[in-house]
Amino acid sequence: MFILYVTLDEDDDRWIKIDQLIRKLGKSRTVIGFPAPALSEFLVGADEAAVDITSSLQKKRAVTILPFDATAAYEAALITRDVIPKGKKGGSGESWQKIKFDRQIVAIAKTRNATALYSSDNGLIEEAKKIGIKAFALDDLVLEPFQQSLLLPYNPGLDTSQP
C-alpha cells in the first residue's frame, strides 16, 4: 500500500484511507514494519525520489525496515514445505517468483510477530491468511468520516422566508 500512498493524489479516497490508517497506527504507537523485499519492489519504480523516500522512512520512529534474515528464510522454507503436498505453489495461479516473494514478506511478518498485514496485493493477503496472519486489503479499510466546516454567506438584508 505504501506505493499507492506515495503515488496517489491526496484527494483520492484510497490515499485518504491509507493516511487515516497510518495516523491511527501512529497514535496508538504501533510500529509499522516495512519488509525489505517490499521496499525493493517500491524502489524499482521510485527513480530519483528513491533515496529521499528511503531516507525519510528510516528517520521515522514509527517505521522500521524489516530484513529478510536467516530466521525469516527458515520460516519461508517451512511455509513452502507445508504446501508441498498441494504442489509448491500451493494451488496458486501466480508465478513461482511472485509466490516466493510473497512468502518472504509473510515470513518476515510472522517472525516479527506482526499483528496485521496491509496490502493492495491479493496474492500476498492470501499467503498471510494461510498461516494465520490477519491481512487486510485496501477495500477492507473504512473511510473514516471527517468534519468539514460549511460556511454559508450571510446577508442580513436577504429575505429567506419566500421561496
pTM, entire model: 0.80
97's enclosing H/E stretch is helix 96-111
Say if strands 32-35 and 117-118 run parallel, antiparallel, or are unpaired.
unpaired
- Tell me the domain boundaries of the chain: 10-140
10-140 carries CATH number 3.40.50.1010 = yes
Q: How far is CA 81 from CA 8, 78, 102, 124, in A?
A: 38, 5, 15, 17
Question: What is the full per-residue pLDDT of the chain (163 aa) written as tens digits?
Answer: 777 887 788 888 888 898 888 888 888 888 889 899 988 887 777 666 667 777 777 777 778 889 999 999 999 999 999 888 788 888 888 899 999 999 999 999 999 999 999 999 999 999 999 999 999 999 999 888 764 455 555 555 555 444 4
